[in-house]
Structure 1
């Protein structure tokens, strides 16, 4: 896999501590070049948002959360019954616990990963959680695109290319949970299933209410 390992991009320092390097190696071992570039862009966009809005945060934790945030899509970390976001969050928590980090830091990283697709909640959580959510939204949907300078966008995308991202990201998402589409109930990944599966019928909240065992 050909990837860029650079220490400073768009004025942002990319963590290179031992734990950060080990997290990166896990992504390189079990992910793809496509996911690596996406994850690094997420970290950089998140960090630029923090810089612009003067948000105090732990850069190392934000980096590790960014690196792990889509690892739940990979064969190594994908479970048979959990949301891919939870798989990634669990993997990151186990990794950090193995390095002796305190429970509060484990919880922050777990929340950042588990909630990174949860619209309307993640942005109101702690700095690291909200920041990574903002970076994911920027890279995937272009949320806040105008707030990043042309110069910084160009530098980031040159070093960590999008490589036909719009066409590849939806099938990439789907490949990580096509064996457990029921886990998309109640979250935005149901849209991915509807896009990828002809005549996909997703579980409906109102049907759950109306067909519950209660008499009234």
Structure 2
């Protein structure tokens, strides 16, 4: 189900050590939603690279790796580069993990141009603000939430984004707060499923 490589195992260890259980489950779900979507659409992607990027994509929201100057995705991307090089990846591969994490908070990337970034964008936007609900059927949602429950992810995530917005008013997180990420999350089918 998950890539069985030293880098993948290390990414899970880092996520487990530094992310809350809710944020870690979100990261794992983001990987799995992306794989589900990619498989359904015949999108070829680098599984290890996508897994590491998904596991580390929100690490910049955690207290140990938060930057008071950089948007969380930039801080997390820098950490992913360091992680990749330390895992023995060539610098260019480590830079790809950094790029994927940064791009997940930017405008849409096509699967042809960058499949891993596209998958992370699709997965995280579904997880957070209900984009493309038709891609994720109710039975898959129920199974995913049973295996990797939200554990209060919505409230924790909104609080993190509101904190980012206060300190980094020009960031993508601040734009999300201005665009009512809290309201969108409140009606997300994944949250509604839990509340029902």
TM-score, normalization by structure 1: 0.75
Tell me by how many angstroms 1:149 deviates: 2.5
Q: Is 1:112 matched up with 2:97?
A: no
Contact 1:65 1:92 in 2 (8 A): yes
Give the aligned CA root-mean-square deviation in angstroms.
2.2
Structure 2: which 5+ residue stretches go unaligned?
182-196
Out of 13-22 and 37-46, give the one that drifted further: 13-22
- Work out which of the residue numbers 42, 54, 57 in structure 2 matches 1:66: 54
Equivalent-residue separation in structure 2 for 1:75 and 1:36 (angstroms): 14
Equivalent-residue separation in structure 1 for 2:139 and 2:87 (angstroms): 37
Task: Look up the SS of the partner of 2:74 in the other structure.
Answer: helix
Partner of 1:135: 123
- Work out which of the residue numbers 71, 83, 105 in structure 2 matches 1:83: 71
Partner of 2:168: 181
TM-score, normalization by structure 2: 0.82
Partner of 2:29: 41
Q: Note closer, same or farther for the CA distance 1:139–1:182 as it changes in structure 2 (3 Å cut).
A: same
Detail structure 1 runs of 4+ shifted over 6 Å in the superposition.
193-196
Tell me by how many angstroms 1:123 deviates: 6.2
CA displacement, residues 92-132 of structure 1 (integer Å, 9 cap, x when unaligned): 11010112212332222111101111123476741111111
As a proportion of its length, which structure holds more helix? 2
Aligned pairs, number: 181
- Map residues 1-216 of structure 1 onto 2, 5 A cutoff: 13-121=1-109, 125-175=113-163, 177=164, 180-184=167-171, 187-192=172-177
Structure 1: which 5+ residue stretches go unaligned?
1-12, 197-216
Q: Note closer, same or farther for the CA distance 1:42–1:16 as it changes in structure 2 (3 Å cut).
A: same
Task: Look up the SS of the partner of 1:25 in the other structure.
Answer: helix
